[in-house]
Amino acid sequence: MFKKLDFKRQNFGDLERIDSHDIKRDEMHSVFQTFDFLDLIKKWPEIVGAKLAAVTSPLKIQNGALFIITKHSSYSDELNWSSELFKVSIFKHFPNLKPIIKKLAFQTQENFFEERKVKEEVLAAKVTKLHPQSPAYKLLKLEAERLFNDVEDPELRASMISIFIQSK
């Protein structure tokens, strides 16, 4: 006979003390089912689109609600009207969230997006530039010279080589 177990009040350490005959298969599956929130953050531009991803970001899942940070309260108001469409898109990418997320809640935090912009600028500034004497630079320069060998204007050829090296 199966016993009805309440998994909400137990932690994973308690699972060792539970006899395997006491656990129903569907309940056992739900205990070990996990969700990586970082996957949701990474796929957020695919879910809401690139323009909305620039001004929104998922924050947390709590009490059956997915909290989403927005850049301005007007975004929160407008997105609240179309929250069902966003839920459909989220469930399309993450079907295991369907029983978990019941509603979407929006919070406005403009400083989050300002800090994110500053971090992106810092990372862009830290892009490593190749030194002209490094072997990698020399290999790229040789490859570029082979590609643009037929360009007659030396100034144009130098510009094309420089652009090629910078793009790699």
Q: Are 89 and 102 in the same domain?
A: yes
State the total domains in the chain: 3
| pLDDT tens-digit map of 123-133 | 877 766 778 88
Residue 61 lies in domain: 37-122
Q: Which of 5-9, 25-29, 96-100, 120-124 has the lowest mean pLDDT?
A: 25-29
Q: Are 70 and 146 in the same domain?
A: no
| 59 inside domain | yes
- Can you give the pTM of this predicted structure? 0.56
Q: Are 142 and 107 in the same domain?
A: no
Other beta carbons less than 10 A from residue 157's beta carbon: 16
**Cβ atoms of residues 60 and 67 within 8 Å:** yes
Handedness of CA 41, 42, 48, 50 (dihedral sign): positive
| pLDDT tens-digit map of 63-83 | 889 999 999 988 888 888 988
